[in-house]
Structure 1
């Protein structure tokens, strides 16, 4: 699987995303609530690592500067390959800089970064669905649009093992 460096949402934002997930699930649209191990939390990934050395990565992220909470404006839905849809977040210069700094620290450990998380290619997003047929995408877009616009507040960060949901909280928010 993979290891992800994620920003986690404050309680209000977390509840908003989970409410969306529950609505989609009641319509038969799969979300992270029921995906794989079922331990997923609403998050915004800075980086996804395909290969890494655990100790080096943990040291690198512990050494990242705490830049404090960050807010991400959500204005719409983005669709990725294989029927994945997400809340499309804004990319401010400050957020892009924070993400790039985190990726460079991870790369310095020898970790392999997934190409979609390379600085300049990264798009901030929070997953809405994990795989939905194209014909069902209008339902996802409608469920998201019913709540737009809104702002998500990320106030914590963690490394998350996507294989089993194991989470290691970070001391700050990179």
Structure 2
């Protein structure tokens, strides 16, 4: 179980990712549509917390200033360990600065940030599949490549409990 601070996609970007998920599912490739609790939404995680004090984290994220929507340029896909495949986003200077500010604020609450979400180790991404069989990796990469390049727009943010998909919207986009 983890708690994630996620940027959520606007309607157009959400639809594009869901269409890709649906296409992959139709080809027999599991995506976030069918993963675990089935309540996943297209998102870009700023930080994943392994341990946290819920009231402290909620207070910290409520205090973030609204930086407004952020756009993510996607030029390719990435395969992470355990055959997790995602759309790879570019880390613009603005996005990297926002990310570092968010992680610093969350760490200041005493939260433990997953090492892959630490500044300097974070790869902005939007997950497609979480455990693709080796033989199907090329199909996922091909399906993603057919949609690239694209720009995804994040216009909302939320804390999301990864165990059940519960969500707490933030008042703005950190």
TM bucket (normalised to shorter chain) is: over 0.9
TM-score (norm 1): 0.99
Within a 5 Å distance, the mapping from 1:35-114 to structure 2 comes to 35-114=35-114
Find the counterpart in structure 1 of residue 163 from structure 2.
163
Residue deviations 1:67-88 (CA, integer Å, cap 9, x gap): 0000000000100011100000
Distance 2:131 2:41 in 1: 17
Q: 1:6-41, CA deviations, whole angstroms, 9 ceiling, x for partnerless residues?
A: 000000000000000000001111100000000000
Deviation at 1:130, TM superposition (A): 1.0
Deviation at 1:126, TM superposition (A): 0.1
Q: Distance in 2 between matches of 1:146 and 1:77?
A: 11
Structure 2 gaps of 5+ residues are: none
Q: What is the number of equivalent residue pairs in this alignment?
A: 174
Displacement of 1:65 in angstroms is 1.1
TM-score between the two structures when normalised by the length of structure 2:
0.99
Q: Which residue of 2 aligns with 1:116?
A: 116
**Partner-residue secondary structure (3-state), 1:121:** coil
Please list the CA deviations of residues 125-174 of structure 1 after superposition, one character each: whole Å capped at 9, or x if unmatched. Answer: 00010110111110001100101100000000000000000000000000
Which portions of structure 1, spanning 4 or more consecutive aligned residues, are displaced by more than 3 angstroms? Answer: none
**C-alpha distance in structure 2 between counterparts of 1:29 and 1:82, whole Å:** 15
Any idea what SS the aligned residue of 1:128 has?
strand
CA RMSD of aligned residues (A): 0.4
Please list every run of 5 or more consecutive structure 1 residues that lacks an aligned counterpart in the other structure.
none
